[in-house]
Structure 1
Amino acid sequence: MTINNELLKAYEEKFNAEPANHAVKQAIAKVGIADASIDNNMLRRHSFVFSDETSRGDITNQKASGRCWMFAALNTARVDTMKKLDVKTFEFSQNYTLFWDKLEKSNYLLDNIIETADEPLNSRLVQHLLFDPIQDGGQWDMFSGLLQKYGAVPKSVMPETYHSSNTRELNRLLTAKLREFAAKLRDAHKAGKTKEELTAQKDEHLYFVYNLLVKTLGEVPETFTYEYRDKEDQFHRINDITPQDFFNEYVAWNLNDRVSLINAPTEDKPYGKAYTVKYLGTVKEGNPVTYINVPIDVLKKAAIAAIKDGEPVWFGCDVGKMLDRKAGIMDHHAYDYEATLGETVELTKAQRLDYGESLLTHAMVFVGVDLDADGNPIKWKVENSWGDTSGDKGIYSMSDQWFDEYNYQITVDKKYVDEKWLKALEEPVTELEPWDPMGALAMMQ
């Protein structure tokens, strides 16, 4: 059947037969689909008052960058630093970790280009590697590798620059150069260069990346001195400490005790098994990205246990769905599209993953939960990194049903996870294809 005048006339008559369509049409023309569809009862469901909360620092701002996963991880870690330093708030340098992430991602890509040099250039794998090689996003295990190798520093030690807060042009130039380097390495392979020769050539290419990063993000410190005042206004100085020692002493996490739980209710990913994603990483020698797929209630139970223990929880979600960004509310019924458009989107969580309608786009931190009399979650308190002009001065509220539908991952200490699920880490890890939705990187700006 084709679209013809008869069909269009039938559509027109059907549209005009519903008087509400004309009012909705005028409203959408004036304010857009979202504002015309918003359910104001949503505001009644989100009081921004929560029964259980953790400590947190001042709201941070990733600005025009996709560093949410870094901000979320460092905002989780800083709570322990605040306790150890006895300060009201603290902020790590996200520029410091950005520098190392860009350098390590460049190395990771070029190593993969050498390893796949015999693959056809138009293969799905090679084209995937070249598609977006230096974006800002990342996964928890990728950041864990950076922390283990490079540690962390206070923000004052390596403050923001123009390009750490505005990464688009930096990423554009780096992407172009990395694709050029990939072409040169593949051409050298065709010309018969050995792997050792290709690696030496790669190292020369990597110097360009290092040079560019120093010019745009600044030099990274090998050691530093940090001065601060505690809650009692007492002065302190930490002399000549390395970033690795600062992280080990003032965060003191055993990163190997942190585990990522995901909820991907698709047929190809049975619960109770561990998964990784091929060609996804930052630090080449670091631990691979690894998740345990579990039912959604397991994520909630672990997150609640951590929050009750005073520990914030890193999580990854599809933030663009059913979000009122200005109000800072994530609610599965935020928009009544059925009232304005006649239908809503009726895909299940599994179907959204399978059909490309949803994936992990943003990382934030749970810093509280509102529990009912039986201990069941009603809504979740979220610390975002989009500044303090949205939500409740940067704090967002997530309905529990939104958690069910659009939250995909949390990272917690293993002690908050039932042993029956941790056994998955003792079994062979299933490798997912590089383009699997669980390989999506949190990079929402």
Structure 2
Amino acid sequence: MTSALTPLDQTRLEGLRTAFDEREANHVAMNAVTQVGIDEVAHNYNRSRLLQHRFSVSIDNGTVTSQAHSGRCWLFSSLNVARFVARKALNIDGESTANPMGDFELSQNYAMYYDKLERVNYFLRDVAALVRAGEPVDSQLMRFLMGDVMGDGGQWIMAMNIYKKYGAVPKQYYPETASSQNTSQMNDQLRRLLHQATAHMVANPDGIDEIIDRTLEAGHRILTIHLGTPPTSFDWEWTDKDGVFHRDGRITPQEFWKRYVNAGLEDYVCLVDDPRPEHPKGRKIGIEHLGNVAGGDPTEYLNVPVEVMKDCARRLMSEQGLPVWFGADCHPMMDRKAGQWATDLFEYGRVYGVDFDMDKEQRVRFGDSAQNHAMAFVGVDVADDGRTTNRWRVENSWGGDIANKGYFTMSDDWFSQYVYEVAVPKSMLSEEYRQAFDQEAIMLPAWDPMGALA
């Protein structure tokens, strides 16, 4: 049988070398890139210097947080939105004496502890149902679930599932640990535990319930060893920015959330821009097997034009003064040090002599782009017409040593191409879109790009 693959022979190789040598710009590019790297050579100076850190609407949310060596951006960004609400309710500023350890934050470690514990249970129950139904162990679905288990990423709805069930605590009551700031080893052990549990279920279907029980206990033990024992109650007292001392007595994390944080966040919905035409705008999308809390809200989004997402984000900041959680593909056209995103920030095509011409739909369809990072909008520059957006101010969770003390600037065209999701109050939407949430969701397979976690 003749192979359908044409080998790269010597004649073709010599032709490639000749074509490279004939173009003088290739040698100039090679000399530059081999010395300083592609980003330094391709950096668009004229675009960068004009992308200013000035905004007509700007929200002060204090010192930028740092997720360290973890993938907890979705928790950091949702808690950054929540802490803004809490600071207003408590009448404190960023450097409040409410937290003698520094800037006021809500414990990201606390949220991660319960997310991981819930995910252990969710995974075990989900896989048990598949094993009982006779799902082949080498099916595409099982291979995906085994490979995807116990990562750090998540979604707004998954974060709300945790806060609604477990509440939140100020960071001083449950601070970071070595493993919360670098999750790889802990995740490896949890992943191995769940792989082993799956193998035991397949080998002994009659013992699945007992396997789930002992694995859940082991998962709890591993998490507590790595992250510490989370508080079930704490004495809450603080001094506000006017110097007034407050004592609220002993409260639970759930009481703290309801009293100082919620403010309607639990009623937010997620809007996405899925550019593929087979998924119509105005329809709800769901992802099979994606979730963290068994019995919690399903991970579903309403597919809308990106301009609707922009309009909601702009209005939420300019009219209500609230930050906006969002998810994006953060890597393309990013200057991390300067804190900038723009679609033409790097002119790679000019350096390589290649026309990179895929649109958003093609990038999603062919695996070139998907959501991988969550942040919060905390400002926007709006044109004089009151609606047209020029650029966006972004609160990241990569610490304050980069960008504008950790705050980034995003061009409006970059938003169109690389932002995929925003969380906004359902009440902001048109009646048509609100009613769309009552429809059955178009369910996409677990590995669909719209199921990518931030």
Give your verdict on TM over 0.5: yes
AA aligned opposite 2:242: E
CA distance in 2 between counterparts of 1:255 and 1:390 reads: 29
1:359 aligns with: 370
Q: Quick check: 1:317–1:362 contact (8 Å CA) kept in 2? A: yes
Tell whether 2:158 aligns with 1:146.
no
Cα deviation per residue 1:377-413 (whole Å; 9 max; x = unaligned)?
1100000000001110000000000000000000011
SS at match of 2:122: helix
Q: Quick check: 1:110–1:202 contact (8 Å CA) kept in 2? A: yes
Tell whether 2:430 aligns with 1:425.
no
AA aligned opposite 1:413: P
2:327 aligns with: 316
CA distance in 2 between counterparts of 1:433 and 1:295 reads: 22
Q: Quick check: 2:164–2:266 contact (8 Å CA) kept in 1? A: no
Q: Quick check: 2:107–2:171 contact (8 Å CA) kept in 1? A: yes
For these two proteins, the number of residue pairs brought into alignment is 436
Moved >3 Å (runs of 4+)? none
Tell whether 2:288 aligns with 1:288.
no
CA distance in 1 between counterparts of 2:148 and 2:274 reads: 24
Deviation at 1:204, TM superposition (A): 1.4
Tell whether 2:109 aligns with 1:95.
yes
SS at match of 1:378: strand
2:98 aligns with: none
1:329 aligns with: 340
Structure 1, unmatched stretches of 5+, are: none
Cα deviation per residue 1:363-386 (whole Å; 9 max; x = unaligned)?
000000001122311100000000
2:360 aligns with: 349
Cα deviation per residue 1:15-40 (whole Å; 9 max; x = unaligned)?
22221211111000001112211111
Tell whether 2:308 aligns with 1:303.
no
AA aligned opposite 2:105: E
Q: Quick check: 1:323–1:329 contact (8 Å CA) kept in 2? A: yes
AA aligned opposite 1:84: A
AA aligned opposite 2:201: L
Structure 2, unmatched stretches of 5+, are: 1-5, 95-103
Percentage identity across paired residues of the two chains: 39
Tell whether 2:41 aligns with 1:41.
no
CA distance in 2 between counterparts of 1:30 and 1:111 reads: 53
**TM-score calculated relative to the size of structure 1:** 0.96
The correspondence for 2:22, drawn from 5, 11, 17, is 17
SS at match of 1:364: strand
Tell whether 2:414 aligns with 1:409.
no
CA distance in 1 between counterparts of 2:397 and 2:237 reads: 25
SS at match of 1:410: strand
AA aligned opposite 1:368: G
CA distance in 1 between counterparts of 2:256 and 2:342 reads: 39
2:174 aligns with: 158
CA RMSD between the two structures: 1.2
SS at match of 1:116: helix
AA aligned opposite 1:360: Q
Q: Quick check: 1:157–1:226 contact (8 Å CA) kept in 2? A: no
AA aligned opposite 1:373: D
CA distance in 2 between counterparts of 1:152 and 1:72 reads: 14
CA distance in 2 between counterparts of 1:398 and 1:306 reads: 17
SS at match of 1:426: coil
Q: Quick check: 2:328–2:420 contact (8 Å CA) kept in 1? A: yes
**Aligned CA distance change for structure 1 residues 275 and 310 (closer, same or farther; 3 Å):** same
**Aligned CA distance change for structure 1 residues 145 and 8 (closer, same or farther; 3 Å):** same
**TM-score calculated relative to the size of structure 2:** 0.94
The correspondence for 2:63, drawn from 55, 58, 67, is 58
Q: Quick check: 1:323–1:331 contact (8 Å CA) kept in 2? A: yes
SS at match of 2:204: helix
AA aligned opposite 2:229: E
1:206 aligns with: 216
Tell whether 2:196 aligns with 1:180.
yes
CA distance in 2 between counterparts of 1:14 and 1:167 reads: 47
CA distance in 2 between counterparts of 1:274 and 1:5 reads: 53
